[in-house]
Amino acid sequence: MKKIVFLLVTVFTISFVNAQDSDVPARATFSRGDKWLEGGISLTTGDSSDDYFAMTPKFGYFLDKKWAIGADINYASIAYLPNTNSLDKSDSFGIGGFVRYYFLSLGNFKAYGEVGLGFNQTKLKYLDGSSTKNDGIKANVDLGIHYFFSTKWAVTFTIAEVLSYNNTSPENGDNSSDLVININLFNNIFAQPKFGLLYKW
């Protein structure tokens, strides 16, 4: 609920500020050759939770006003509290590509669907000093929204992960696969939104 309120307050505040500005920018548009950088940062720390840091930059290129392709990089680091697996820390790095389709444009609100595929590697470090590596393949289908508060800058919201697939190949152990399909998107579409910023040129 707090995330829903934060989302609505953020959008309302940006809209109100723009409405008070006599030099309100023109409506944001897409065309062939436009490019963008997009990403978000996540940080969690505390005495009762693992320390977590992640960043997910993306670069995209418009093929026309609706279709775009791009590449993404993701990095995550976790410092664990004492646990039964004797884990001390994990570091993950991944690269991938995606295709994005903008299916709705309402003023400066843009909604899209995205299909992505990539590779990731995770290094696990244990309290006894040993470590292992896990290689994996990732695939995803997402829905998202942009709100452009200028012709170049937008707030981004990934509001639904329709499908995600991960295949992991541990350095020591058997392969494992996980497939998650979320069909009931509108039960609570803002339950786990991911926020970020986008710059287009």
Mind listing the pLDDT tens digit for each residue in 46-103?
Answer: 777 788 899 889 999 999 999 999 999 999 999 988 876 788 899 999 999 999 999 9
Q: What share of the chain is helix, strand, coil (3-state, %, to 5)?
A: 10, 60, 30
- Asked if residue 5 has pLDDT above 50, the reply is no
Please give the C-alpha separations between residue 115 and each of 70, 100, 142, 145, in angstroms, as whole numbers. Answer: 11, 7, 7, 15
Cβ atoms 59, 35 nearer than 8 A:
yes
Cβ atoms 163, 181 nearer than 8 A:
yes
CA–CA distance, 171 with 132 (Å, rounded to integer)? 6
- Asked if residue 2 has pLDDT above 90, the reply is no
């392709």: which residue's tokens?
69
Architecture of domain 40-200: Beta Barrel (2.40)
User: pLDDT per residue over 141-199, tens digit each?
Assistant: 989 999 999 999 999 988 777 778 878 877 776 777 777 776 555 444 445 567 899 99
What pLDDT score was predicted for residue 22? Answer: 42
- Asked if residue 10 has pLDDT above 80, the reply is no
Q: Residue range 125-140: average pLDDT?
A: 88
Closest among 76, 116, 119 to 98, alpha carbons compared: 116
- Asked if residue 13 has pLDDT above 60, the reply is no
Q: How confident is the model at residue 32 (pLDDT cuts 50, 70, 90)?
A: very high
* Residue ranges per structural domain of the chain: 40-200
Cβ atoms 192, 2 nearer than 8 A:
no
CB-based burial of residue 70 (10 Å sphere; 0-12 exposed, 13-18 middle, 19+ buried)?
Answer: buried
CB atoms within 10 A of CB 176: 12
